[in-house]
Amino acid sequence: MKKFIKWFLIVVIILSIGLFGTYRYIISQTKKASPEQTITYNQADVNLTVFYNRPSKRGRDIFGKLVPYGKIWRTGANEATTFKTNKDLLINGKKLPAGKYSLYTIPGKDSWEIIFNGKSYFWGINMRDPSKTSLEREFDVLVTDVNPISTNAITEMFTITFQNTSELSLVLSWDQTKVMIPIQIN
């Protein structure tokens, strides 16, 4: 009996190490294809941070194909995209309290739904069904619609930036599409 328990524990330990190693390898491979990026906006006492992963176009048709219209998108790849603010904001005229949010979108040909969700999600998709996101809509804090802009220039790698020309905007760019989300400090 002692011999059985000893061998059983050895097998369990070896399997655990193997599974952990496989998991770490898979994560590292997905990060190569879609590297992590953190962007910040710091002006006066306002601090905004976005963490996301940057998938590439690689010759594919993006919006309406790879990222279908009318479906929830994790707004990047791998982990859920996060947006953090230390001050209350107006996003496209709607109040967003200070805090950390998961950022999801529902792309459309003529309009995009922008979703700031109050729950943190480890991965942007449902691991049991990768065709679905992990988003739980009952935790939505702010939902707003903005119009996409078609561009002649191709953005190869999905990019999120802060643009502060006449007004501050959170800008999502990929392929030949740009989405500008107006931000005002409340």
28: left (phi over 0), alpha (psi -120 to 50) or beta: alpha
pLDDT at 148: 98
User: How is the chain split into domains, by residue range?
Assistant: 1-33, 34-185
The label of the residue with tokens 């006492």 reads: 45
Span 126-156, pLDDT tens digits: 556 656 667 889 999 999 999 999 999 999 9
Structure confidence at residue 23 as a pLDDT band (50, 70, 90): low
pLDDT tens digits along 56-75: 999 999 999 999 999 999 99
Q: What is the pTM of this model?
A: 0.81
Name every residue whose Cβ is closer than 8 Å to that of residue 73 and which is 6 or more positions away in sequence.
67, 104, 105, 106, 107, 133
For the stretch 25-47, pLDDT in tens is 565 555 556 899 999 999 989 99
Average pLDDT, stretch 7-29? 71
Flag whether pLDDT at 20 surpasses 90.
no
E strands, the chain, where? Answer: 36-43, 46-53, 81-85, 89-91, 94-96, 99-106, 112-117, 125-126, 129-133, 140-146, 148-164, 168-185
- Residues counted in the chain: 186
Summarize pLDDT for 89-109 with one digit per residue, the tens. Answer: 999 999 999 999 999 999 999
